[in-house]
Structure 1
Amino acid sequence: MSYTKENTAVRKFDVVIVGAGGSGMRASLQLARAGLNVAVLSKVFPTRSHTVAAQGGIGASLGNMSEDNWHFHFYDTVKGGDWLGDQDVIEFMCREAPHVVYDLEHMGMPFDRNADGTIYQRPFGGHTANYGEKPVQRACAAADRTGHAMLHTLYQQNVASNTTFFVEWMALDLIRDADGDVVGVTALEMETGDVYALHAKAVMLATGGAGRIFAASTNAYINTGDGLGMAARAGIPLQDMEFWQFHPTGVAGAGVLLTEGCRGEGAILINSEGERFMERYAPTLKDLAPRDFVSRSMDQEIKEGRGCGPNKDYILLKLDHLGADTIHKRLPSVYEIGHNFANVDITKEPIPVVPTIHYQMGGIPTNIHGQVVVQAGGDDNHVVNGLYAVGECSCVSVHGANRLGTNSLLDLLVFGKAAGDHIVEFNKHTPHHKPLPADALDMTLARLNRLEEASDGEYAQTIANDIRSTMQSHAGVFRTQATMDEGVVRVAELRERVNKVGLKDHSKIFNTARVEALEVENLIEVAQATMVSAAARKECRGAHTVEDYEHPADHPTAPLGRDDVNWLKHTLWHSQTNSLSYKPVRLKPLSVETIPPKVRTF
């Protein structure tokens, strides 16, 4: 069987959104309510998107349980991101936060409640009052199932607004015309194996993260970086891909996430000596320091022989002192995870945890409206017409070098809505579709037919597993220049193997082997972007900790090896040339004074 233009159908929409998680559905809701014809593609049923796994809460300065305002949230986000975030978009997100949370509440989101009926808010890592003086309660929570509740709320609203969902479809490639504008996507319907060209005035990528490039990950198996792969193949650079967040509390041996809400409710980390060791590393915030800080502290304890278990290779998270009633009320999913994945009753004993890959701070570069931007004609933020990206696959750069907990769900809501609003206005001034170019299907058909013709090639999952083990070894919590340089070589070799993937099953209906082979082509783009970007950044910043630069000789006063003189800039990785370019971090906010870089202490 071969794929041809003749057996490829074309369908036309105002907007095509790739991904039905929180950001995609928040945007589609805005568009459907405005009367646009919207198609939302998803590899899984919308309520199975990875947003469903978010547990802890949505960051917003409501001030329901303690003194708070958006200025404090803004400060914590800038500092948490180690000054790599763009302060104008951070201000926008923090100011919009209360509005998007109340929007959700009015849609019927079942937040936990205080006695006076206001939304319950719990403390969270890195969130403080009065510019770092003390912890603050800012995470708007629905027990420890906040993402689950949010996703179902948005899905129900989309159904009511007649959004069209294409379930179990995989987007393959962006369609760009001679002007460089995006005019649609190609997609595979998994049920039939048929390929379509989806013609649109605007395309939005909302495909989530790519945490499956690592062996130990809290990410769902669907998180294979499809949007990033599509963008990279279409000539769009990937920004700040060296920054990957390790969540401190993944279940040891399983990788399943235990929300930061555990520590927000009062859980503590202890070593083999029973010591609450975070008091030494972060005397003010202790266990509620930002994630990169806690992950490195845990790793240090293990390296120095104070890990727990027979191999001394994990830390213990202690919750039993909270009491069974609090655990069952505020952390019911964590209780179930303890039973199912660690054989532990957390109301009676601690649970083993290790830092586990969780979130990508980098992604497809965008502006405040969700428009994808590239470098062109001396402009660092030249808009790619017709293309938007929101959520974890994007990099509007609110997270900098280390995302503050709860800002992921907030990012989805704020920029999903902002992009939706912008597309509504764009559609008013764009009455007609630009025509599809003659070569619209060429890249996709070539990829599919190469797989069809390569029956004796290597099995895709073998290469995927090698990608994961390589990234785990060469881009971990602590990195060295030598291991990163070696990782660059290893990933380049893996790319050659990806080009020779074979397909033994050539059936059309629900051929998961074909889907996996296509996913590996996305994984390798993300892995190479990560490795090349990491090896090039000669400093420590946020989640990028390189042992060689912790105390650099040429910058002996630099905070933990951070080099603001040479590296206060974003990396941009270009797939076609496997090379990097750079652009400056925007330190000027919209309406308040700049927060200048300083040492991060907690």
Structure 2
Amino acid sequence: MLNHEVVVVGAGLAGMRAALEVAKGADVAVLTKLYPPRSHSGAAQGGINVVLHPDDSLESHIFDTVKGSDYLGDQDAIEVLCREAPRDIYALEHMGTNFTRASSGKLAQRELAGASFPRACYAADLTGHKLLHLLYEQLLKSTIPVYNEWYITSLLVEDGVCRGVLAYDLTRGCLETIRAKAVVLATGGYGRTYDRTTNALCNTGDGMALAFREGTPLADMECVQFHPTTLFGTNILISEAVRGEGGYLLNQEGDRFMRRYVPSKMELAPRDIVSRCIQLEVRDGRGFQDEYVHLDVTHFGEEKIAQKIPQVRDLARRFAGVDVVCQPIPVQPAQHYSLGGIRTNVWGETRIAGLLAAGECGCVSVHGANRLGGNSLLETIVFGRRAGMRALEYASQLRKAKAPSASRISERMKEVAGLLARQGPENIHALKNRLGRTMREKVGVFRVGPEMEQALAEIRTLGERFGQVGLRSRGLIYNVELLAALELQHLLTLAEVITLGALTRRESRGGHARSDYPERDDAHFLKHILAFQEPGRIRQEFEEVSLTRFRPEVRGY
């Protein structure tokens, strides 16, 4: 059994930022199923929001975020996010982040969708990539041990206290127990529940599903963000920076169609609105091949493209054979971000003592029913730091970590062994593909009750079929089939929670758009939906939204 005072699971931006904070006063280790520079945080491109310009204001950033969330975001948490942004951005700059500069020498800022002011600091269209490598550099400079290619299979929770984790070391092919006073989950989102997603293959909602299993609730899981512009045929993210710099969305008639829907914001309307508009254009026969629209930057010129969106040009050329200097980019909406997650407070604490969560796997609820571009990177840094601070404080107050019981460890190990030994006829990858298609077709950009009922039945059937999967590989060293089976378990659990929440929320709010309930219903659903795992069923309950400054009003742009 290994021992650390704090274990951070996940090595994206939130995980590394938490670990660096804990390391100021406690023994901390990072456990990650892939090498840190490959974490999905690197896919974020557009920028990171912060109020720096004298003509901007904290009040505006808070209001834009509240309004963008369609009033489902908790305003006390949103204020923490926005108020603490400058200290964290300056800290990142002092660490060495190569932010793009304005001609004055100050940090350049661009406008992203839903913002009332250009407040997103950026590094061309590589912001997440640059930040990820910066924090990895800080991690390497520290003495923090990193367990690369270790996959968490269980949280070891007893008597309402998290005592450590059980993890699968793919390199050595063994299961290891790590005892800890505190565990910080920073395992990312559940994007792979959908077959069309911008998310990396690693985004299988592991931390969410494991925490849910141990009794802590998941919040607002029905709120899924679909990004309007992903590269057709690949669903690679085409950054919001493209529209922030002045890109046009065009249908097959050459019409800049956003002027008909949101004339005041055009392409810079919030993501949920733009995604729905694109879907409507395609549905009404004005898309290309009944699948996509065009994102046009040919008016930029080659120099601006090279300076502002070099990665987008490279991605379009490599994966679609399109040179954006002279050709439009074919784009379509796809799942992008997990707005819900493990319910936490503003310090990352869950309802299980010693278990914290930060980043996309957590739901402190700063995004509500729709996230603004530039706020996700900010969330990872602000709440990753805060979760690290609280984990350090919690661990420092405990004299000694109590070891997980041998019976609990043995029980969890037997579950993995049982999965490895299965010899049924079902194929893991066929089940996963079917799940992804079901979620896209029936719990997508537009939703309707009967289709979601069908999806729920299909998900439960897939869960039953999962009990009959057969693994061909019996070894433990780099058994990627076993890893895929463990991940699919999580995806099936989370897909059911998402769909149940979407059925319960009988209204349209932000990214949750129900054709059978097209209006927002504050009287009944200005509330978070919490999901709890109970024997044989998922229980739901409502929780009030924190309203501190702004009362709900019509969300017009």
TM-score range, shorter chain: over 0.9
Q: Distance in 2 between matches of 1:454 and 1:587?
A: 47
Q: Distance in 1 between matches of 2:335 and 2:114?
A: 19
Q: Distance in 1 between matches of 2:231 and 2:253?
A: 20
Q: Distance in 2 between matches of 1:585 and 1:270?
A: 41
Compute the displacement of 1:149 (Å): 0.4
Q: Distance in 1 between matches of 2:182 and 2:444?
A: 37
Q: Distance in 2 between matches of 1:439 and 1:319?
A: 61
Q: Distance in 2 between matches of 1:521 and 1:18?
A: 19
Q: Does 1:372 align with 2:333?
A: no
After TM superposition, where is structure 1 displaced by more than 4 Å over at least 4 residues in a row? none
Q: Deviations over 1:277-306 (max 9, x none)?
A: 111211111110100000001111111111
- Give the aligned partner of residue 527 of structure 2: 569
Q: Distance in 2 between matches of 1:290 and 1:262?
A: 14
- Give the aligned partner of residue 390 of structure 1: 358
Q: Deviations over 1:304-323 (max 9, x none)?
A: 11112xx2321100001111
- Give the aligned partner of residue 173 of structure 1: 154
Contact 2:420 2:482 (C-alpha < 8 Å) held by counterparts? no
Contact 1:173 1:234 (C-alpha < 8 Å) held by counterparts? no
- Give the aligned partner of residue 281 of structure 2: 301
Q: Does 1:600 align with 2:555?
A: yes
Q: Secondary structure at the match of 1:503?
A: coil
Which runs of structure 2 are paired with 1:282-431 in the superposition (5 Å)? 282-308=262-288, 311-373=289-351, 384-431=352-399
User: Match for 2:350: what amino acid?
Assistant: V
Q: Distance in 2 between matches of 1:473 and 1:180?
A: 39
Q: Does 1:62 align with 2:21?
A: no
Q: Distance in 1 between matches of 2:539 and 2:422?
A: 32
Q: Distance in 1 between matches of 2:497 and 2:529?
A: 10
User: Match for 1:171: what amino acid?
Assistant: I
Q: Distance in 2 between matches of 1:435 and 1:473?
A: 46
Q: Distance in 2 between matches of 1:115 and 1:439?
A: 64
Contact 2:435 2:462 (C-alpha < 8 Å) held by counterparts? yes
Q: Does 1:475 align with 2:443?
A: yes
Which runs of structure 2 are paired with 1:452-463 in the superposition (5 Å)? 452-463=420-431
Q: Does 1:80 align with 2:61?
A: no
Q: Deviations over 1:422-441 (max 9, x none)?
A: 12222221121123223331
CA-based RMSD? 1.2
- Give the aligned partner of residue 26 of structure 1: 17
Q: Which of 452, 467, 472 matches 1:499?
A: 467
User: Match for 1:319: what amino acid?
Assistant: V
Q: Deviations over 1:143-195 (max 9, x none)?
A: 10000000111111122121111001101110011x21101010000012100
Contact 1:269 1:287 (C-alpha < 8 Å) held by counterparts? yes
User: Match for 1:195: what amino acid?
Assistant: L
User: Match for 2:97: what amino acid?
Assistant: M
User: Match for 1:562: what amino acid?
Assistant: R
- Give the aligned partner of residue 229 of structure 2: 249
| Cα 1:470–1:16 shift into 2, 3 Å | same
Q: Deviations over 1:223-250 (max 9, x none)?
A: 1111112112212221111011110000
Compute the displacement of 1:499 (Å): 2.4
Moved more, 191-200 or 422-431: 422-431
TM, length-normalised to structure 1: 0.91
Contact 1:251 1:257 (C-alpha < 8 Å) held by counterparts? yes
Which runs of structure 2 are paired with 1:110-149 in the superposition (5 Å)? 110-128=98-116, 136-149=117-130
- Give the aligned partner of residue 49 of structure 1: 39
Q: Secondary structure at the match of 2:177?
A: strand
Structure 2 stretches lacking a partner, 5+ long: none
- Give the aligned partner of residue 273 of structure 1: 253
How many residue pairs were aligned?
Answer: 556
Q: Distance in 2 between matches of 1:572 and 1:494?
A: 24
Q: Secondary structure at the match of 1:317?
A: strand
Q: Secondary structure at the match of 2:120?
A: strand
- Give the aligned partner of residue 413 of structure 2: 445
Which runs of structure 2 are paired with 1:117-266 in the superposition (5 Å)? 117-128=105-116, 136-177=117-158, 179-266=159-246
Q: Distance in 1 between matches of 2:514 and 2:547?
A: 28
Q: Distance in 2 between matches of 1:564 and 1:52?
A: 36
TM, length-normalised to structure 2: 0.98
Q: Distance in 2 between matches of 1:511 and 1:140?
A: 41
Q: Does 1:584 align with 2:549?
A: no
Q: Secondary structure at the match of 2:181?
A: strand
Q: Distance in 2 between matches of 1:578 and 1:101?
A: 43
Structure 1 stretches lacking a partner, 5+ long: 1-9, 129-135, 374-383, 551-560
Compute the displacement of 1:444 (Å): 2.2
Q: Distance in 2 between matches of 1:19 and 1:269?
A: 36
Contact 2:11 2:32 (C-alpha < 8 Å) held by counterparts? yes
Q: Distance in 2 between matches of 1:439 and 1:567?
A: 43
User: Match for 1:567: what amino acid?
Assistant: F
Q: Secondary structure at the match of 1:526?
A: helix
Q: Distance in 2 between matches of 1:549 and 1:507?
A: 50
Q: Distance in 2 between matches of 1:371 and 1:296?
A: 35
Contact 1:208 1:223 (C-alpha < 8 Å) held by counterparts? yes
Compute the displacement of 1:526 (Å): 1.1
User: Match for 1:598: what amino acid?
Assistant: E
Instruction: Among all aligned residue pairs of Structure 1 and Structure 2, give the percentage whose two residues are the same amino acid.
Output: 43
